[in-house]
Copies of this chain bind each other. A is one copy, B any other.
């Protein structure tokens, strides 16, 4: 908040250094305040140690800056998901690990999770297309398909199953973020209860 020290000017070709610092500062402020609207250009500038107009040397407007922050957070989620999947022993195990990693990513970064998955996202442009390409979601579809081929998951529409899994983990994550004071059961028990249930159902041929 008070890095009010005057910043040393960047070298000729080093404009990207400040750009990265701006994104990092915006991301940090977002995590601290928990609110996209509470992050101001002025606040970001001060955190970086620069005056507000300098931001506009690197981003045309605030929206674009926030997109850059989102991009960076999506990349982080993808990274976490890939790491979780790497140690899995089979497709079902992979799905569970991905699910747990997703929930923990959200609970560890509630403010970021908010803008990625609970925000308004007025322009229908950015994050929806990003979503489809995201390895975090694509990886789930893949794992479901492999699970079906291996006979561990009842044959069906992999997209539907993946969406169902996503909705499940998102339900826990977003609700706990939105209502932190609700008397939640222990997280592990809840994950177990809900995620295992999904797997039981996925393994079963069809409905009750």
Stretch touching chain B among A17-25, A55-63, A78-86, A154-162:
A154-162
A residues touching B (Cβ–Cβ < 8 Å)? 34-35, 37, 117-121, 124, 127-128, 131-132, 157, 159-161, 163-164, 166-172, 174-175, 178-185, 189-190, 192-194, 196-204, 207-208
- Closest B residue, CB atoms, query A168: B171
Q: Decide: A161 and B193 in contact? CB cutoff 8 A.
A: yes
Q: Select one of B184, B192, B208 contacting A200, CB under 8 A.
A: B208
Q: Decide: B202 and A207 in contact? CB cutoff 8 A.
A: no
Q: Select one of B121, B159, B171, B196 contacting A174, CB under 8 A.
A: B171
**In the assembled complex, which residues on chain B have CB atoms less than 8 Å from the CB atom of A131?**
179, 182
CA distance A18 to B130 in the complex (A): 46
**In the assembled complex, which residues on chain B have CB atoms less than 8 Å from the CB atom of A198?**
197, 201
- Closest B residue, CB atoms, query A196: B207
Q: Taking the nearest CB of chain B, how far is it from the CB of A123, in angstroms?
A: 10
